[in-house]
Amino acid sequence: MSVRADDDPLGPSWRARLRGCPMTTLDLAPLDRDECRELAATHGEWNCATLDRCVELAGGHPLFLEQLLRA
């Protein structure tokens, strides 16, 4: 399971019910512009306007960027 830290549905009461079950938390920051461009390069050639718009819309989230590029 994965969730975003914003509006985390796994609040303290839910976590308390885990009763010792292992849980790993990774804090992943959004990609910066250069990282987005590097990711986009793995999906083919893009003109600058299209790439910049996709990067802007994705807000640094790699899954969103990949979906925009595929669309």
Q: What is the pTM of this model?
A: 0.65
CA atoms within 13 Å, Cβ hemisphere of 45: 0
What are the tokens at 21? 């079950």
- pLDDT confidence band for 53 (50 / 70 / 90): very high
- Give ∠ CA 58-62-67 in degrees, rounded to 5: 70
How many CB atoms lie under 10 A from the CB of residue 28? 11
Choose among 47, 52, 54, 57: nearest CA to 70: 54
pLDDT digits (tens, 9 = 90+) for 6-50: 666 677 777 788 787 887 777 778 999 999 999 988 888 888 898
